[in-house]
């Protein structure tokens, strides 16, 4: 027993191990955060290249480059990879890096489990991506994998897809448990709940959502697995089941899931807007309550994804009003950010540019969401490019811009160097233009009746599709610039002080840049 104690007595003092074992065996939240971020960017490029295939095919009407079967695999894999491989891991990576620094903790609460959460992801995506090379091809039923498309008519690789989802779920649940345990248990003395930075608050609530709904996703894919391989009839009406049951269970997961992908970005934007306005946030408490309200409402709106499948009228009314109610706390947040900027002393470094674009463009995405929430109108919009425009407006300038903003905001803390501001601003403007070119015309296409998930379209949609494809290529190519900026920043650059942003507040700016391998081994006092 004493031998064990001795072998552990020095771990607070040594630095990172050398070589590959540093990454394979690590228990350090910064290493794990870095791995999450790198993995997420790799998946962003992979999912993005699939989007490029989609836009290349849609550049002109008619079948040009790929077969319809392969096109369907691309839309499916693009969605799955971006949601589960790019956006979610990026936020978990930010959480790993920043939560301990922001609350004054030495590490995450359960460091070994933390490492397992990460390494499960490459494993899951290895299985998922391998389905592309299997007999019958990869999943081709859309990222929402509706039954019976995915059960009765899915390719044989669907079973592998199901187990990949299971592994991602295990990873997410463990990651979320770790976040909650860290926030609830490891805050520095004096940091009461209502003194926590907003990124911490939003992640606490996101983690709760994750633990609540990832098991439901596991449940629905398990039902699929049983229907496919063991003859159950959950989603088959001839045995007394119902394909609509699939949609209910899936969207009970799926709707909170979209908040999982945006709430941490809300937290990031709150910090950045306040920092570059050199003012405290206009209303801290109302921000916290708004996030809580959004999270709770997210559990009672799922059927707004299913207005057209034939749910009872009372159901449509309930889910319509409940959905519109979400605009209230979301409005509280948007007005809060705007009021924070009002009469602030603003500067527009790259993080702030992304944050301001976030506020404007996410609001556009929110408004199109309100349009979709109106049940009778949704009968027109459902499954058109309008929906595609809507969710890309909340996910690209919402979640992804939030991640870029966070990356630029904290890169000096991570690397010890300032990034190249001119290149970063170029990255922003090219992304901004490319993204709007790509996604804004989709609103018009959808309203004019172009359905989503098709490789070919009628001639009258040709012009807008070409504009959209050009925008998508611009946006896609620009992301290589981001890779270059980050690599350049890691390798060198102007030395960053402990607090590179004049208006920034929080514990993470009290440690040197780059943050030492171990921080807050003794907790700081928060007044």
Partner 1 sequence: MAQEQSYYVPEQSKWPIVATVGLGVTLYGVASIMVNGKQGESTTGAWVMFFIGALIMAYMLFGWFGSVIRESRAGLYSAQMDRSFRWGMGWFIFSEIMFFAAFFGALFYVRVFVVPWLGGEGDKGTTNMLWEGFQASWPLVNNPNPEAYPGPKEVIGPWGLPLINTILLVSSSFTVTVAHHALKAGQRQKLKLWLGATIVLALVFLTLQAQEYVHAYKDLDLTLQSGIYGSTFFMLTGFHGAHVMLGSLMLIVMFVRVSKGHFTGDNHFGFEASAWYWHFVDVVWLGLFVFVYII
List binders of partner 1 among 5-34 (CB under 8 A). Answer: 5, 8, 11-12, 17, 21-22, 24-28
Rounded Cα distance, 279 and 257, in Å = 32
Residue 385 annotated among the catalytic residues of the structure: no
257 is catalytic: yes
Residue 80 engages partner 1 in binding (rule: CB under 8 A): no
Residues 311-370 that bind partner 1 (CB under 8 A): 312-313
Q: State yes or no: residue 296 binds partner 1 (CB under 8 A).
A: no
Q: Which of 29, 55, 255, 413 is catalytic?
A: 255
- 249 is an interface residue for partner 1 by CB under 8 A: yes
Query: Does 184 interact with partner 1 (rule: CB under 8 A)?
Result: yes
Contact 526, 188 (CB under 8 A): yes
With binding defined as CB under 8 A, does residue 167 bind partner 1? yes
Q: Has 171 been annotated as catalytic?
A: yes
Number of residues that bind partner 1 (CB under 8 A): 89
- Angle at CA 34, nearest 5°, toward 31 and 36? 110
Shortest Å, Cβ 384 to partner 1:
25
Per-residue H/E/C for 8-72: HCCCCCCCCCCCCHHHHCCCCHHHHHHHHHHHHHHHHHHHHHHHHHHHHHCCCCCCCCCCHHHHH
Q: Is position 248 an interface residue for partner 1 (rule: CB under 8 A)?
A: yes
Contact string (CB under 8 A) for partner 1, positions 195-214, x = contact: ----------------xxxx
Helix (H) or strand (E) holding 520: none
Q: Is residue 305 among the annotated active site residues?
A: yes
Positive or negative torsion for Cα 351, 355, 357, 362: positive
Q: Least CB distance from residue 220 to partner 1, whole Å?
A: 6
CB within 8 A of 163, min separation 6: which ones?
A: 127
Marked catalytic residue, from 78, 392, 417, 453? 78
Segment lying near partner 1 (by CB under 8 A), choices 178-186, 398-406, 422-430, 498-506:
178-186
| Segment lying near partner 1 (by CB under 8 A), choices 91-99, 140-148, 431-439, 516-524 | 516-524
CB of 106 to partner 1, least distance (A): 5
For the window 393-432, what string marks contact with partner 1 as x by the rule CB under 8 A?
A: ----------------------------------------
Interacting residues of 248 by C-beta distance below 8 A, sequence separation 6+: 302, 303, 306
Choose, by CB under 8 A, the member of 119, 146, 335, 444 that binds partner 1: 119
Q: Which of 31, 227, 236, 257 is catalytic?
A: 257
Among residues 87, 103, 128, 176, the one that binds partner 1 under rule CB under 8 A: 176
Is 270 labeled as catalytic in the residue annotation? yes
Q: Tell me if 52 contacts partner 1 by CB under 8 A.
A: no
Taking a C-beta distance cutoff of 8 angstroms, is the pair 314, 346 a contact?
A: no
Could you give the CA distance from residue 468 to residue 482 in angstroms, rounded to a whole number? 21
Angle at 277 between CA 273 and CA 279, to 5 degrees: 100
Tokens of 243: 């394909």
Say whether residue 157 binds partner 1 (CB under 8 A): yes
Q: Is 201 a catalytic residue?
A: no
Cα–Cα dist 17/20, whole Å: 9
Stretch that binds partner 1, among 117-125, 326-334, 336-344, 442-450 (CB under 8 A): 117-125
SS3 content of the chain, % helix, strand, coil (to 5): 70, 0, 30
Residues 323-350 as b/e (b if ≥16 CB within 10 A, e otherwise) read bebbeebbebbbebbebbbeebeeeebb
Q: Which of 90, 102, 173, 396 binds partner 1 (CB under 8 A)?
A: 173
Q: Where in the sequence numbering do the catalytic residues fall? A: 78, 107, 143, 171-172, 255, 257, 259, 270, 304-305, 330, 333, 452
């Amino acid at each position: 027993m004493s031998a064990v104690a001795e072998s552990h007595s020095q771990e607070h003092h040594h630095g990172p191990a050398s070589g590959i074992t540093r990454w394979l065996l690590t228990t350090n939240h910064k290493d794990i955060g870095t791995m999450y971020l790198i993995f997420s960017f790799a998946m962003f490029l992979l999912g993005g290249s699939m989007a490029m295939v989609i836009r290349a095919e849609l550049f002109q009407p008619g079948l040009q480059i790929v077969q319809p079967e392969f096109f369907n695999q691309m839309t499916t894999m693009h969605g799955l990879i971006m949601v589960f491989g790019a956006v979610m891991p990026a936020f978990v990576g930010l959480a790993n890096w920043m939560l301990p620094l922001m609350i004054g903790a030495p590490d995450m609460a359960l460091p070994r489990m933390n490492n397992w959460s990460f390494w499960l992801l490459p494993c899951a995506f290895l299985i998922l991506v391998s389905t592309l090379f299997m007999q019958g091809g990869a999943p081709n039923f859309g990222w929402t994998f509706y039954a019976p498309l995915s059960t009765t008519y899915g390719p044989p690789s669907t079973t592998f897809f199901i187990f990949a989802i299971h592994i991602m779920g295990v990873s997410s649940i463990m990651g979320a448990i770790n976040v909650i345990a860290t926030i609830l248990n490891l805050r520095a003395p004096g940091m009461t709940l209502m003194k926590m930075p907003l990124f911490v608050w939003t992640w606490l609530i996101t983690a709760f959502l994750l633990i609540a709904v990832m098991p439901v996703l596991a449940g629905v894919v398990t039902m699929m697995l049983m229907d496919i391989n063991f003859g159950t009839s959950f989603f088959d009406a001839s045995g007394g089941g119902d394909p609509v049951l699939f949609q209910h269970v899936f969207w009970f997961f799926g709707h909170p899931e979209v908040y999982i992908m945006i709430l941490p970005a809300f937290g990031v934007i709150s910090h950045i807007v306040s920092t570059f306005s050199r003012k405290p946030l206009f209303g801290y408490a109302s921000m916290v309550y708004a996030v809580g309200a959004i999270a709770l409402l997210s559990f009672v709106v799922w059927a707004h994804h299913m207005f057209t499948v034939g749910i009872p009228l009372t159901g449509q009314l309930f889910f319509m009003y409940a959905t519109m109610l979400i605009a209230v706390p979301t409005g509280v947040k948007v007005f809060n950010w705007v009021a924070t900027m009002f009469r602030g002393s603003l500067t527009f470094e790259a993080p702030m540019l992304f944050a301001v674009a976030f506020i404007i463009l996410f609001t556009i995405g929110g408004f199109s969401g309100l349009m979709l929430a109106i049940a009778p109108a949704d009968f027109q919009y459902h499954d058109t490019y309008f929906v595609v425009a809507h969710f890309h407006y909340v996910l690209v300038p919402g979640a992804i811009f939030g991640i870029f903003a966070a990356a630029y905001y904290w890169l000096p803390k991570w690397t010890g160097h300032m990034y190249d501001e001119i290149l970063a601003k170029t990255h922003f403007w090219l992304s901004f233009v490319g993204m709007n070119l790509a996604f804004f015309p989709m609103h018009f296409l959808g309203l004019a009746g172009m359905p989503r998930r098709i490789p070919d379209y009628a001639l009258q949609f040709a012009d807008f599709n070409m504009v959209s494809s050009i925008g998508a290529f611009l946006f896609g190519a620009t992301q290589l610039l981001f890779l270059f900026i980050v690599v350049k920043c890691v390798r060198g650059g102007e030395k960053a002080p402990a607090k590179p942003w004049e208006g920034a507040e929080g514990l993470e700016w009290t440690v040197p840049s780059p943050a030492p391998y171990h921080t807050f081994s003794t907790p700081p006092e928060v007044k």
